[in-house]
Amino acid sequence: MRRTDRWPLCLTASPNPFAESPTISLAGGRVPTGPAQFDLFDADGRCVRSLRAQSLREPVSLAARDAGGAPLPAGVYLLRARTGGVEGVTKLIVR
């Protein structure tokens, strides 16, 4: 994803596409300190899952499940991470 002033965090997901649980991490750059908020949006823009992490200094695993614990249907999702006043977005594909 292209770095911009609005989205200064460059996120990566591996594996992507995935069926179980990708690992989310930052792709270089300065890592903000403090807790991080992750929000997963479906193709219609609905937030299907949110989670918090202590920081982005370590990779985060994201299970392919919605907020109620049901498996996510196959499709394209956007994952937004927010921490330290900055944000980043990456596309995730569930197969």
Q: How far apart are the first and last CA of the chain?
A: 21
pLDDT in tens, 23-50: 999 876 667 778 999 999 999 999 999 9
Q: What's the rounded Cα separation, in Å, for the pair 80 and 68?
A: 19
Q: What is the DSSP letter of 72?
A: P
pLDDT in tens, 8-21: 788 999 999 999 99
Going 10 to 16 to 17 to 18, the CA torsion angle's sign is negative
Q: Please list, residue by residue across 2-20, b when 16 or more beta carbons sit within 10 angstroms of its beta carbon and e when fewer do.
A: eeeeebebbbbbeebebee
